[in-house]
Structure 1
Amino acid sequence: MEAVVEELSAAVGSLIVPFAAAAASASAAAAAPKPKGQLLPTWGADQTVARRLSWYNDEELGWGGETVEHADTESDPLEDIPPMSYTTFLPVDNRPEYLTLPMGRLSPKMLLNIEKHKNSWLSSAFSEWMEVAHMSSIAAQLGCKILKAAMCQAATIRPFPTFPVEDFVKSSGTYPTEYRALVDFLAAPNDEDVKVTVLDNGMTGLEMPKAKVLQSWIHHSVGGYNVKSHVPSFGIFDIFGTPEGMGGVVFGVPNAVLGTSTEIYPPLAEVLASTTLQPMGSVTAPHIDVIFAHVAQIAVKQELDGAPDKLWLIAPPTEKNLELLAETLDGIANPDLSARIVASLEQLHWVRQTPGVCFIVPAGWIHCVLTFQWSLHVGFKFVCAEHQEDARRYIMWCIKKLSAIGNLTTGKEMLRVIELDLKLWGNVRSAEKWVKEAKDALADVKESGKGRRHVK
C-alpha cells in the first residue's frame, strides 16, 4: 500500500500547477502565479460571490436557526452504525465521537471546535441535513457522519472561489434548465436500462428501466423524497447533451480563466456537456474522479422544484490527502472510513451550490458532495497548456498501471476516460508529442496479454 501511495503521490501530487485566482472581478486579468507546491485553488472569480452565498448569513439564505441541541439518547432513535470489519478501523472503544454519537447529536466539543475555527456554518448545515435526509438511508447516515467529521477539522474550512453562471453560458438568453435535461434523457440511445444510484441503499451502477427512472425523476422532483413513497429515488450520472437539450446551450470557459493561460481547449466551441441528477439526501463519499482535465460545475435552473442546493467539500491531492484516500482503494464504502478521511483532509474547501453559482473542480482534487435539495448540475471538461506536464505524468502512470488496477469494470472505465481525455489534449498544440507517446503506450497495453485480461 505504501508503494502505491508513494507512486500515486509523485504522479498526482502536483497535478494542479497553481495559478492566481482571477482578480477582483470575473473579467479581470489574472494575478501573478503562486509559488509551486502550495496546491491552492486554480481559478476563481470575485470571492464576494462565495461569501455572499455562504451559510454565515442564515437569515438571507433561510438556513439553520438555533444551534443544534444535544439530543437525548432515549429520544434519538438512530444509534451509531456498528463498525464493519476492516483492518484500518480504530478499535470500537477508541473511535472519535463523530463516529460514536447518535445520528442527531452533536457534542459540546464539536460546537466549540467549529466556533474556534470559524466553521460555525456547519451546525446550520447539520440542522438542515437532519430535516431533509431520511435517517434510515445509508446516504443520510453517511452525510451525518461527514458533517460531524468536518466539525472536528482542526482548521478553518475555506470557501472555494466561484463564478456566476453567465461566465460559463455564452448563448444570450439560453440557459441550462431541467426541461433541457429531460429532453437529453429521453433522447438517450439506450431505450431500456439506465445506470443509477439508489438513494435507499446507496447502491451505484444498478441498471433500471428507463420508464422507471423517469417516473422517479418526475415524482420526487415534484413532491420531494418521502420514505413512505412506493417510488424509489434514483440518481443519474452522465446525461449527455443533445442539440435540442443541453447541446443547445453554448458553454465556454470563463474569460477570467482564459486570461490565465496561453492555450485552453475548448474555450467555447465543441464543449460536450453532460448533466448529473441527484435526489435530496444523497451523498458521494470522498473520491477523485478518473478524469485528466478540469471540470466546470454549473447549477441548473429547475422548473419543477425550485433551487438546487449542494454542499461540496473539496481538497487538493497533497501527499497526506492521497495517503488518506488510499484506504478506499479496495472499494469498501463505509460511513466511518469516509468520515475519518474528511476529518483529516488538509486544505479543505467548501462550495454551496445554488442557482447561478458555478465553479471549477481542478483536475485530481478530492471531493465529496451532500445534496440538500433535488439537484441538477451540468458540467464539461477542458484542458490548458500550463497543466500538461502534470497531466502527462498522471496519464502515463495510469497507462503503466492500467493492466493491474482494479477489476475488469475499473480497467475498462479508466481506458475509456484516458482515450477521451487524450482527444482533448490532442487539440493543445504544445502537447502533440507526448499525446502521441501516450496513445502509442496505450495501444501497447491493449495489445499485451496482461492488458487484454483487464481492459479488452
Structure 2
Amino acid sequence: MDNVWIADLRADWNSAPLRYLPRFRDGSMILDVLVQYPIPIPAYEKILDHRDLYHGQAPTMEHIVADLILAKHEDLNIVDQEIGHGTQSHKEQVLVSMWTAAYASSENSNVKLFTVPDIPFHPDGSGKCGIGLVKRFLEFAVTDTDTADGSWSSSFCPPGAITDLHWDYHGGSQIILGISTKKLWLFWPPTEKNLAWWRKHNLRPTSSSTTLEAIHNLEGLTVLYQRGRQAFFMSPFHIHAVLTFEVSAHSGTPVWDYNTWKDTARRMTEWEVAWAWDYFENGHSCTDGVQALQYLLHAMERWDKLHKKLVKKKCVSKEDLVEFGNWVKIYLKKVEQNLVSMES
C-alpha cells in the first residue's frame, strides 16, 4: 500500500466547493504532505461493525438537526473555523453555513464555516432513537451515566471544516458512530516520543501548522477515511485531527474500559497528573494545571465506579482487581490533593 489514494482526496479538496472555503489552503497543505509521506501510512485498525454496536435506532441527520435546533444556546460550543475557537455565533448561522459551504462557487463567496463538536442528544431529537451500547461493550466498562444508554452527543461539520490537533476524554475511550460522513482522520498514539512533543500543546489552541508539525515529527501515524455510517473505537489520549469533505455528522459516547486502562489509560493518567503539577516547566499557567486535574478527577471517579462494578461481577482475577483498586485509591487521592493545593 502507498499513499497515492490520498491524492484523490487532495483532488477533491482542490475542487469546488472546497477550494472556495476559508480553510482551503490549510487542508491542501496537509494533504500535500500526506501524499508525500516517506512511507505508506497504515490504516487505522480499530474499526467497528455498526450493526453489532448498539441496540435501538441510530440517529439520522434529521435527528442531529433537531438536537441542534432544540439545544439551549449556552449548551453549545460553536466554533468559527476562521479563528479556530468558540464564538458567540448562533445555531441558525451553523445551519446556514452547511448549505452555503456546499454550494460555494467563487473565491469571493465570503462563506463562513461553523462547526459544533458536541451537540447533546435532545429527548425530542436523537433521544427518541433509544440508542445504547450492546452488553459486550460494557462487560469490563462503565459509561458516564452507568447505563447502556451512555452519554451520547454528536459532532456536526460543514464541508471544508478542519478539526485541529487535540485529544479528547482524559481516561475514557470513545465509541464513534458515523451518521453521514466523508472525513479523513489522522491519529497518533501517546508514545513517549509523541508525549514529549505534546507537552507544550496540551490544552492549548492548535492550528493547521501544528498538524503539519505533527506529521513531520510524531511517530505512529495512522489514517481513517470515514464514509457513511462507519464506526470505530478511539482509545484514550490519542492525538488526532480531522478534515471534512462533505456535510458530516457522527455520534459518540465515552466509556471507561478496564482493558484500555491496562493498555493505555493507567500510564497516561499518571503522565497527565505529572504534567499538571509541572505546569510551569511545560510553559503553561496554573489555570491549565487546574483544568487538567478537574478533567482527571472526573476520570478517576469513573475508574472508581468501574472497580466497584468489577468487584461485584468477579469477572477479573483477584490479583488484577487488587492492583486496579490500589491504583484507583492512590490516584484519586493524588488528584484530589493536587487540585486542592493548586486551587488554594
TM-score by length of 2: 0.79
Q: Which residue of 2 aligns with 1:238?
A: 118
Query: What SS does the aligned partner of 1:242 have?
Result: coil
Instruction: Note the 1:147-158 alignment, pairs <5 A.
Output: 147-158=31-42
Contact 1:294-1:361 at 8 Å conserved across structures: yes
Query: What SS does the aligned partner of 1:160 have?
Result: coil
Instruction: Note the 1:207-226 alignment, pairs <5 A.
Output: 207-208=88-89, 212-221=90-99, 224=102, 226=104
CA distance in 2, matches of 1:247, 1:436: 35
1:279 to 158, 165, 174: 158
Contact 2:185-2:243 at 8 Å conserved across structures: yes
Q: Which residue of 2 aligns with 1:383?
A: 256
Alignment-mate amino acid for residue 452 of structure 1 = E
Contact 2:170-2:295 at 8 Å conserved across structures: yes
How far 1:136 moved relative to its partner? 6.2
Q: 1:452 to 1:330 in 2, by over 3 A?
A: closer
Matching of residue 251 in structure 1 with residue 124 in structure 2: no
Q: Which residue of 2 aligns with 1:436?
A: 329
Contact 1:250-1:268 at 8 Å conserved across structures: no
Alignment-mate amino acid for residue 59 of structure 2 = P
Q: Which residue of 2 aligns with 1:195?
A: 77
How far 1:420 moved relative to its partner? 2.9
CA distance in 2, matches of 1:412, 1:185: 31
CA deviations over 1:38-67 (Å, ceiling 9, x no partner) = xxxxxxxxxxxxxxxxxxxxxxxxxxxxxx
How far 1:154 moved relative to its partner? 1.9
CA distance in 2, matches of 1:197, 1:286: 14
Q: 1:319 to 1:395 in 2, by over 3 A?
A: closer
Contact 1:149-1:340 at 8 Å conserved across structures: no
Q: CA RMSD in A?
A: 3.0
Bigger radius of gyration: 1
1:179 to 36, 59, 62: 62
Alignment-mate amino acid for residue 197 of structure 1 = V
CA distance in 2, matches of 1:292, 1:240: 20
How far 1:207 moved relative to its partner? 2.8
Contact 1:315-1:346 at 8 Å conserved across structures: yes
Q: Which residue of 2 aligns with 1:294?
A: 173
TM-score by length of 1: 0.61
Q: Please state which structure has a larger fraction of its residues in strand.
A: 2
1:447 to 337, 340, 343: 340
Q: 1:334 to 1:239 in 2, by over 3 A?
A: closer
Q: Which residue of 2 aligns with 1:362?
A: 235
Q: 1:400 to 1:280 in 2, by over 3 A?
A: same
1:168 to 49, 53, 57: 53
How far 1:373 moved relative to its partner? 0.7
How far 1:206 moved relative to its partner? 2.2
How far 1:349 moved relative to its partner? 1.6
Alignment-mate amino acid for residue 86 of structure 2 = G
Q: Which residue of 1 aligns with 2:313?
A: none
Query: What SS does the aligned partner of 1:159 have?
Result: coil
Gaps (5+ residues) in structure 2?
308-320
Q: 1:221 to 1:136 in 2, by over 3 A?
A: closer
Contact 1:240-1:273 at 8 Å conserved across structures: yes
CA distance in 2, matches of 1:332, 1:182: 27
Alignment-mate amino acid for residue 121 of structure 2 = G
Query: What SS does the aligned partner of 2:39 have?
Result: coil
Matching of residue 394 in structure 1 with residue 260 in structure 2: no
Q: Which residue of 1 aligns with 2:317?
A: none
How far 1:388 moved relative to its partner? 2.5
Contact 2:68-2:91 at 8 Å conserved across structures: no
CA distance in 2, matches of 1:368, 1:230: 25
CA distance in 2, matches of 1:150, 1:231: 27
CA distance in 2, matches of 1:166, 1:235: 28
Matching of residue 206 in structure 1 with residue 62 in structure 2: no
CA distance in 1, matches of 2:198, 2:273: 20
Contact 2:154-2:252 at 8 Å conserved across structures: yes
CA deviations over 1:41-100 (Å, ceiling 9, x no partner) = xxxxxxxxxxxxxxxxxxxxxxxxxxxxxxxxxxxxxxxxxxxxxxxxxxxxxxxxxxxx
CA distance in 2, matches of 1:234, 1:254: 36
Alignment-mate amino acid for residue 140 of structure 2 = E
Q: Which residue of 2 aligns with 1:373?
A: 246
Contact 1:157-1:348 at 8 Å conserved across structures: yes
CA distance in 1, matches of 2:277, 2:196: 22
Query: What SS does the aligned partner of 1:300 have?
Result: strand
How far 1:125 moved relative to its partner? 0.8
CA distance in 2, matches of 1:352, 1:440: 41
Give the length in aligned residue pairs: 317
Alignment-mate amino acid for residue 166 of structure 1 = R
Contact 1:241-1:275 at 8 Å conserved across structures: yes
Alignment-mate amino acid for residue 126 of structure 2 = M
CA distance in 2, matches of 1:381, 1:358: 14
Contact 1:239-1:276 at 8 Å conserved across structures: yes
